[in-house]
Chains A and B, each alone.
Chain A
């Protein structure tokens, strides 16, 4: 079996942020459904949480290039 283990590592590391972002936006949608007038406040918090979670995914893809067998 040949190939690059960096890609395997990236695939595994993308599970965490995927689950995290799903949880964040599930909470956002539920919050807006309960109280539509808090949409603006919750949007800021949701974007903040999304960005922090996406950061790990970005580390993953950037390092996959760095470590890809060079």
Chain B
């Protein structure tokens, strides 16, 4: 990006370095805005859930009803329907935690004063994806044993010369593609969404303050797009959280699909 001496006159579009926001300290051990937002989200989740489940009643009150709705979505339509009736129980805490954490962190990207998606720093989706990675590998090995796990990568009834190719492809899928795509999907969506919001906001501000003549009017559509895209980001937030645990559930379901 070219920078001129008269820096105020040249519009600098937002880019990756704008996401590095240390608050305290600097370098590798800085406390960044991302860390603060993540800790805040965990505290909020813990407080809300503890408060809502304090006095559980058979006829639920409002808070309990809503939490049961979310829990029911994760447990039934993702856990039970995808992993299967008999095996889904141990994984519900993992799926529920991932769903609520990712959802809250994604939604905090458009809450005023905290407008920063924690999942747009690749370390956070990476940590979550690694958690899922370990769980589905260990579950697979535990269910079938190490040899059986490798044998299950290749479906039966294939000609002998295809088996090595399929084995390598499946191994790469299991060990590399799945965690990478889990991470990059969440990271890319949040990163791209935030870049677009920054672009609309900074562009609108630049047009308003430094635009010549009629260009100032163009800042109105820019701010309007900022508003509309923020609304769209709500949908993306839900979708990305839902898809993350949907894929985690699909990978776990494959452990128990003894079809091949």
Contacts and interface: CB of A to CB of B under 8 A. Distances in A.
Interface of A: 40, 44, 47-48, 51, 54-55, 58-59, 61-62, 65, 68
A68 B14 CA distance: 13
Given A47-B243, A51-B243, A65-B191, 18 more contacts: A40-B77, A44-B77, A44-B82, A44-B246, A47-B246, A48-B246, A48-B250, A51-B185, A51-B247, A54-B185, A58-B188, A58-B192, A59-B184, A59-B188, A61-B192, A62-B187, A62-B192, A65-B16
Interface in B58-86: 77, 81-82
Interface residues of chain A: helix, strand, loop or mixed (majority): helix
B181 interface: yes
A58 B119 CA distance: 14
Contacts of A65: 15-16, 191, 195
Nearest to A64: B192
A68 to B, nearest CB: 8
Interface in B229-260: 239, 242-243, 246-247, 250
B32 interface: no
A47 to B, nearest CB: 7
Given A44-B246, A48-B246, A51-B243, A58 B189 contact: yes
B246 A55 contact: no
Interface of B: 15-16, 77, 81-82, 181, 184-185, 187-189, 191-192, 195, 239, 242-243, 246-247, 250
Given A44-B81, A65-B15, A65-B16, A55 B185 contact: yes
A35 B105 CA distance: 37
Contacts of B243: 47, 51
B81 A55 contact: no
A62 B188 contact: yes
Contacts of A58: 184-185, 188-189, 192
A67 to B, nearest CB: 12
